[in-house]
Amino acid sequence: MRAILRGVCCLLFAACAGAAWSQDAVLKPFVLGSKGPGDVAQKAEAVKAALAQHGFAVIGTYTPYPNAAIVAVTNDEMKATAAKSERGGFGAAQRVAVTKMKDEVQVTYTNPTYLANAYRMAGDLKDTTAKLQAALGKVEEYGAKGLTASQLRKYHYTFGMEYFDEPNTLATYPSHEEAVKAVEAGLAAGRHGVTKVYRVDIPGKKEALFGVAMKGEGDAGKFMDDKYIMSEIDFKDVRSTAHLPYDLLVSDNKVYALYARFRIAISFPDLSMMGANSFMNIMKSPEAIRKALALTAGGREDAR
């Protein structure tokens, strides 16, 4: 009898350990789908076709700098899951990047399950993750040592830095429709170096996600410039180009953006605070981005 009880206890322990491992599985921000010889433009077209075959809608494309192309997509699962949580719209799109490094073309994409947890969504987008893998392949997850789902849902880079639920409120309007109209107008004008890449409207909810390109001029504008920021922090052999583009969210009558100390850090959680290729090199970027986005949304420069 004692031996039987010991055996049952061992089985229960193993089952609990397996459940704990599953719950605490490490997630990384990006997935390398494939790499090999090729042309960026041709590969990007092949990527679009593969994504369409697996039920994704291509909602925008972006070329932030030479030898890099980004394809933004959404699907029914992303939009439905986005509708179920506060500011879930930040997770209503995923980004696929085609980047040429020396003689190699890398196809990479954001990890939907990683972002679903980082954005505290009411679901983990595992079906979307599986469909992206089926469309584009999976060599490895990369971009960090990794974080568990529970760590991602309460993530901030370090003491004093912002959490997901502490976004910038850039502007407030009398209605959702007026807020969306103001953002569309600001992006179309592009006076502050911010332009539209895509828009996703969340079904059954007054919420719209905008992907935005940012281009700054000269020393004064470089700290909000996509190309400059990525040249400082995206330096490893497998590039994290799919960090771009940045996001604006119109939720009800307010316009939000994730503060850059969260939005950049969630893509690069292992980036050093100081030294070469560190956050110190883009120390002025969070405020530069906030100001540019606030003015684009029709808010004040000091909008928080």
Show the low-confidence residues of the chain (pLDDT under 50). Answer: 1-22
Residues whose CB falls within 8 Å of the CB of residue 285, separated by 6 or more in sequence, listed in order: 223, 224, 229, 260, 264
Chosen CATH of 27-149+161-296 out of 3.30.310.70, 1.10.3720.10, 3.40.190.10, 3.30.990.10: 3.30.310.70
Residues 204-225 pLDDT 10s: 999 999 999 999 999 889 999 9
Q: What is the mean pLDDT of the chain?
A: 93
Residues 134-193 pLDDT 10s: 999 999 999 999 999 999 999 999 999 999 999 999 999 999 999 999 999 999 999 999
Model pLDDT, residue 23:
54
Measured CA to CA, the distance from residue 117 to residue 125 in angstroms comes to 9
The CA–CA distances, whole Å, from 181 to 83, 177, 188, 194, 296 equal 21, 6, 11, 15, 12
Instruction: Write down the pTM of the prediction.
Output: 0.91
Per-residue three-class SS string for 24-93: CCCECCEEEEEEECCCHHHHHHHHHHHHHHCCCEEEEEECCCCCEEEEEEECHHHHHHHCCCCCHHHHCC
Q: Are the C-beta atoms of residues 244 and 62 closer than 8 Å to each other? A: yes
Instruction: Give me the amino acid identity at 7.
Output: G
Cis amide bond preceding 64, omega within 30: no
Residues whose CB falls within 8 Å of the CB of residue 237, separated by 6 or more in sequence, listed in order: 101
